[in-house]
Each structure stands twice: as C-alpha cells, then as structure tokens.
C-alpha cells in the first residue's frame, strides 16, 4: 500500500507535534486534577502510518507481552476519525483507588472507570487540537474495543475502517503508580487531507 | 552589549514562536537549543543570561536543566514556557529557581510583563 494520496510534510508534522504537545498538556492537567496526582508527560511522537501496520506499532509502544484494554471513541465534524486509548490492564486496577473506587473492582466498575479516563484524555486532547486549528469536533460515547488482550490481538487488519492511523503517541504516566496510557488517532484519507490544509493555514499565520 | 538569551525547545516551530514573542528592538543575541543537554552546554559557555525553557524534551528535560543550573549557582534568569500546565509543574519549577511560568501557546504581552517585572528590559 502506498501513501501517495495522504501525506504530511515535515513542516506540517512539526506544527502538529507542537499543537499536540499543547493539547496533551491540557489533557494531562485535566487528568491530574481528577486524580489529584502529578502526571508525567512524554514528548509526543507523531507518525502517519498505514492502518494495517498499526498492530506492529502498538506492539512496539506497549510491548508484546503486556495485556491491554482499549477504548474507542469516534469524532466527527471538520475531521472524522476515531481515537483509541490503550491502557495496561494492571495499570487500570492501580488507578481505581485514586478515582475513589473500592478494590477489588467488578467488571462494571472497571468499565465505568475506563470510560471516565478515556473521556478526559480524548476530550481534552482532541478538543485542544481542534481549538488551535479553529476546527469543530463532536464526539460519540466511548466503547470498549477489547479488554485484557495481548497487543497483537487488538486489531485484525482487514476489519479496520480507516486507511491511515495518525499515530499520536501520547504517554501519560503517574509517579509512584503503574498507570500508563497511550492515545492513537485514526483518520480516514480525506480527514488527513483536511488536517493538512488546516496545518498549512496554521503555519502561514505564524 | 547585547544580552545573550537562550531559547530551549525540541520543536523548531515552538522556538520560532518564542523568538517572535520577544519585544521588538530588544538588544539580544539569540541562541537556541533543542534539548536540555545542549542548553546546559551553552549556559556554561555564558551564552544564557536569560533562558526561555520548555519542560517536556527528549534527552534531558526542563526540570533537569533547572536542577543543574541551581546546583551550579543559578547564574541565569529562567522563564519556563510549557504545555505542561499542571499546578504541580508550576510549583516545581518555581522551587527550582525559575522566575516565571508561562503557558503555551506563548503570548508576547506575557513575556513583556515578566521581563519588565524582573527589570530585564
């Protein structure tokens, strides 16, 4: 598969990186307020990849051996796509007391906790991006994509509805806790093109 | 003599935005670094009377730069410019000797205010 139709230049990626950096700072701040804890932010890494390669990249980020739980949340309006939030299963359980939940967690409560965290991260991150680009986004409710699976089992490449994954690798971790999460934004081809146009306007305005 | 200032950020675009936000006609000699390690090297060469410092960077982050500068006698005015806006991040950098914490995206009037407040203009 080639990427002739949708591509981002180095300059566009650099602009997007800084936009994401600001957005994830806001997401981290929201999370820190909810958890009353200091959130460590990594340098966001941005890569545009072909969607079928995504399993391989996810394995790279989270490690093959790790059991993960994934939430998906779609967004639409100026850009259409889907945001995936990946959590290590162990880290989720670690988060429960900080969110005020009693241990051990039953499946229903764990789900509720993941919805909350996913909403915070996806909402703050994507709204932050949209705001800086002067775009509007709406969100559907999050749903569980997979619970406690190996990273390699998360996707079957044939069933992905998106041609491209804008791999926005945003890592949030908590000091003294095992919680870690990764955010990945999946975009359709025309959304990448629309994003490129918005980035050009942003760059020109600097 | 022009004041040596150092702009530290891993993003080229972000450095550009910081430089654009500096007061016009300010007599400065601008140096740039894209991680903490480069920043410290320039600081030790005396090329950083005022430092505009990002926090989230590869190799060596802004917190580590502040720690090193503090250890070495804090011979610079450090203004942190960060996307990490958590109150705890702000507290930490102040404890480490930064004179101000500005949120990204940076605004020229905020830079001007901090520089005036500390008599750096």
Q: Is residue A190 part of a domain?
A: yes
pLDDT tens, position by position, A100-120 = 877 777 878 888 888 888 888
Fold for the domain defined by B3-117: Rossmann fold (3.40.50)
pLDDT tens, position by position, A134-192 = 999 999 988 988 888 887 777 766 666 777 778 777 778 887 777 778 888 888 788 88
Phi and psi torsions of A35, nearest 5°: -90, -10
Q: Is residue A68 part of a domain?
A: yes
pLDDT tens, position by position, B79-88 = 999 999 999 8
Q: Which residue of B has its CA nearest to A29?
A: B86
Q: How many domains does chain A have?
A: 1
What is the C-alpha separation between A58 and A65, in angstroms, rounded? 12
pLDDT tens, position by position, A46-81 = 888 887 787 778 777 777 667 888 899 999 998 888
Judge: B105–A22 Cβ closer than 8 Å, yes or no.
yes
**How is chain B split into domains, by residue range?**
3-117
Q: Does A9 touch chain B (CB under 8 A)?
A: no
Domain assignment of residue A104, given as a range = 10-205
Phi and psi torsions of B74, nearest 5°: 50, 65
Q: In terms of Cα–Cα distance, which of B51, B87, B82 is closest to B69?
A: B51
Work out the average pLDDT over B26-54: 97
Q: Is residue A50 part of a domain?
A: yes
Distance of CA A136 to the CA centre of its chain: 18
The residues with which A150 forms a beta bridge, in sequence order, are A67
Judge: B86–A28 Cβ closer than 8 Å, yes or no.
yes
Confidence of residue A3 (pLDDT cuts 50, 70, 90): very low
CA neighbours closer than 13 Å in the CB half-sphere of residue A205: 10
Judge: A22–B88 Cβ closer than 8 Å, yes or no.
no
What is the C-alpha separation between A168 and B1, in angstroms, rounded? 44
Confidence of residue B119 (pLDDT cuts 50, 70, 90): very high
What is the C-alpha separation between A39 and B23, in angstroms, rounded? 33
Q: Is residue A179 part of a domain?
A: yes
pLDDT of residue A157: 61
Q: Is residue A49 part of a domain?
A: yes
Residue B4, SS3?
strand
Q: In terms of Cα–Cα distance, which of A16, A17, A40, A53 is closest to A164?
A: A53
Virtual torsion, Cα A89, A103, A121, A118, nearest 10 deg:
70
pLDDT of residue A2: 42
Residues of B in contact with A14 (CB under 8 A): 11-13
Of A17, A28, A206, Cβ closest to residue B84:
A28
CATH number at residue A57: 3.40.1550.10
What is the C-alpha separation between A168 and A187, in angstroms, rounded? 11
Indicate the average pLDDT of chain A. 83
Judge: A29–B12 Cβ closer than 8 Å, yes or no.
no
Q: Which residue of A has its CA nearest to B21?
A: A206
Work out the average pLDDT over A8-37: 89
The B residues from 75 to 114 touching A (CB cutoff 8 Å) are 82-89, 104-105
The tokens for A28 are 């981290």
Q: Is residue A1 part of a domain?
A: no
Q: Does A32 touch chain B (CB under 8 A)?
A: yes
Residue whose tokens read 């702000």: B90
Locate the DSSP E strands across A117-175.
137-139, 143-150, 164-174
ipTM for the complex?
A: 0.80
């Amino acid at each position: 598969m080639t990427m002739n139709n949708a591509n981002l230049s180095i300059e566009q990626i650099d602009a997007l990186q800084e936009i994401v950096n600001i957005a994830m700072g806001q997401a981290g701040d929201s999370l820190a307020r909810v958890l009353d804890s200091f959130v460590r932010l990594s340098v966001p890494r941005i890569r545009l990849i072909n969607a079928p390669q995504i399993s391989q990249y996810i394995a790279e980020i989270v490690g093959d051996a790790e059991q993960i739980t994934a939430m998906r949340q779609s967004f639409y309006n100026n850009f259409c796509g889907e945001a995936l939030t990946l959590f290590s299963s162990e880290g989720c359980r670690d988060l429960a007391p900080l969110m005020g939940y009693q241990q051990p967690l039953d499946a229903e409560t764990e789900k509720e906790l993941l919805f909350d965290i996913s909403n915070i991260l996806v909402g703050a991150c994507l709204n932050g991006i949209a705001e800086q680009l002067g775009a509007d986004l709406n969100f559907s409710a999050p749903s569980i994509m997979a619970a406690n699976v190996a990273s390699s089992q998360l996707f079957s490449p044939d069933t992905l509805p998106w041609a491209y994954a804008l791999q926005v690798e945003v890592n949030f971790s908590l000091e003294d806790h095992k919680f870690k999460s990764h955010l990945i934004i999946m975009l359709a081809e025309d959304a990448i093109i629309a994003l490129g146009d918005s980035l050009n306007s942003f760059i020109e305005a600097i | 003599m022009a004041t040596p200032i150092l702009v530290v950020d891993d993003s080229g675009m972000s450095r550009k935005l910081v430089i654009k936000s500096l007061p016009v006609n300010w007599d400065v000699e601008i140096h740039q670094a894209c991680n903490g390690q480069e920043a410290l090297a320039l600081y030790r060469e005396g090329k950083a009377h005022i430092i505009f410092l990002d926090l989230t960077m590869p190799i060596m982050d802004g917190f580590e730069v502040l720690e090193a500068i503090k250890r070495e006698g804090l011979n610079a005015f450090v203004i942190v410019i960060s996307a990490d806006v958590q109150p705890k991040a702000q507290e930490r950098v102040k404890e480490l000797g930064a004179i101000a914490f500005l949120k990204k995206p940076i605004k020229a009037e905020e830079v001007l205010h901090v520089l005036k407040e500390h008599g750096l203009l």
